Amino acid sequence: MLLIKSMADKENKLKPNTSSLEISTFSDQIPANNYSLSSIFDMPTCETEKGSSLSLIETMFSSHPITTPSTFDLLQPPPPAVPLLVPSQIVNKIPSSEIVNTPNSSSISSSSTEAAANDDQLQPNTQTVDDDDQHKNKKQLKPKKKNQKRQREPRFAFMTKSEVDHLDDGFRWRKYGQKAVKNSPFPRSYYRCTTATCGVKKRVERSSEDTSIVVTTYEAEYICSRVAFSLSTLSMKSQS
């Protein structure tokens, strides 16, 4: 779990002189009082399973190649940053049902996106696309998948105190949807990573309980790791 607070002035996208970021990553399997990062030299981690965590270095260079420019290249010279612990109360505000991270979740063979892609590959494409097909309604465009319970990808959320909803986390994202959230005046935005080989999705919504907090939920652990790493890097650079 990474818990960082940084006094940030995130490039031009953020209002200057305003941003105080509190970022936390967590899963619902992690006790609320189980924080780490007591100093900037501690390697922040993304908790994956109960009692285990991956070092960011391990996850960054493991089996998930990223071909994008590195996060370090994309990030601007950091402003002074001060890491500190985030109260566990804030972390607990996220409904646990939203952060799915079962003990077996890390061993799920394919993500929801990948599963969908695999399913598409498995299904023979017997239809030929012509002009008429394009005028068919959406029900016909999508083949139904029966008796396949969709497995949800484990999610990892960052809680960020910021006036800006969509923070620059070093990846390129394309918004593909926005929905009103029940019991919240703020909409939830859905983003898909547009980087090659990166099919990760994320959701961004502002907390209705604390409107200064933006909750960004990633559907891939290694994204979480890289975001955490980039943030910790910002912190370390600012100290030197």
Partner DNA sequence: CGCTTTTGACCGGCGC
Partner DNA sequence: GCGCCGGTCAAAAGCG
Considering the complex, state which of residue 122 and residue 144 has its C-beta at the smaller distance from DNA.
144
Site string for DNA, 145-184 (x = CB under 7 A): x--xxx---------------------xxxxxxxxxxx--
- For DNA, how many residues bind (rule: CB under 7 A)? 34
> Among the candidate windows 30-38, 46-54, 77-85, 138-146, which touches DNA by CB under 7 A?
138-146
Does position 138 interact with DNA (CB under 7 A)? The reply is yes
Q: How far is the CB of 167 from DNA (least distance, A)?
A: 12
Choosing from 36, 190, 208, 239, the residue that interacts with DNA (CB under 7 A) is 190
On whether the CB atoms of residues 38 and 51 are closer than 8 A, the answer is no
- Sites for DNA among residues 100-119 (CB under 7 A): 112-113, 116
Considering the complex, state which of residue 23 and residue 204 has its C-beta at the smaller distance from DNA.
204
Considering the complex, state which of residue 152 and residue 237 has its C-beta at the smaller distance from DNA.
152
Does position 15 interact with DNA (CB under 7 A)? The reply is no
Considering the complex, state which of residue 16 and residue 177 has its C-beta at the smaller distance from DNA.
177
Non-local (6+) Cβ contacts of 146 within 8 A are none
Q: How far is the CB of 37 from DNA (least distance, A)?
A: 27
Q: How far is the CB of 150 from DNA (least distance, A)?
A: 5
Q: Which residues make up the interface to DNA (CB under 7 A)?
A: 98, 112-113, 116, 134, 137-142, 144-145, 148-150, 172-182, 188-191, 194, 201, 203
